[in-house]
Amino acid sequence: MSQKRISFSEEERQNIFSKTGGTCEYCHKDLVFNNRTEGERGAWHVDHGIALAEGGSNSIRNLWPACISCNEDKFTFSKTEYDEEFEMEETVGKIKEACNNNLPGVSFDLYKERRIKR
C-alpha cells in the first residue's frame, strides 16, 4: 500500500462529500463530514477512483468520499474494479451458502487473500 497522500482544502472536501450526498461511494454508509479518524462515527477519507499509482489524478472527477474501511480495503483498485469486487463478493456469498455443506474443504477466504495481495 503506497498511496500518495495529498491534502485537500475544506472546500474541496465539501465538493467531494457532496458528490454522493454524504454517503460512502462504495458501501453507501452515511458519513459525517467532520470525522476523519478511524473509529469515529461516519469517518471518511477522500478516495481516488483511479489510484494515483495507476495514473489517476487529483481532479475532483477522480475523487470520491469513502468510509475508512472501504478506503483501506480498496488499496489501488480502480473504482470500477472495486464495484465489481463488491458484486463478486455478493455472488461468492451466495455460492458459499449454496455449497457450504457439499464442499467442506473449499475455503472461500482464498478469494479475499488474492484481493489483498494484489
Site for Zn ion in 83-102 (CB under 5 A): none
Contact between residue 20 and residue 56 where contact means Cβ atoms under 8 Å apart: no
- Tell which one of 13, 70, 74, 85 touches Zn ion (CB under 5 A): 70
How far from chain centre, in Å, is Cα 103? 30
27 binds Zn ion (CB under 5 A): yes
24 binds Zn ion (CB under 5 A): yes
Q: Interface with Zn ion by CB under 5 A: which range of 10-18, 24-32, 48-56, 74-82?
A: 24-32
- d(CA 8, CA 13) in angstroms, rounded, equals 6
31 binds Zn ion (CB under 5 A): no
- Tell which one of 67, 77, 79, 82 touches Zn ion (CB under 5 A): 67
Short-list 21, 13, 27, CA closest to 58: 13
CB within 8 Å of 69: residues ≥ 6 apart: 27
46 binds Zn ion (CB under 5 A): no
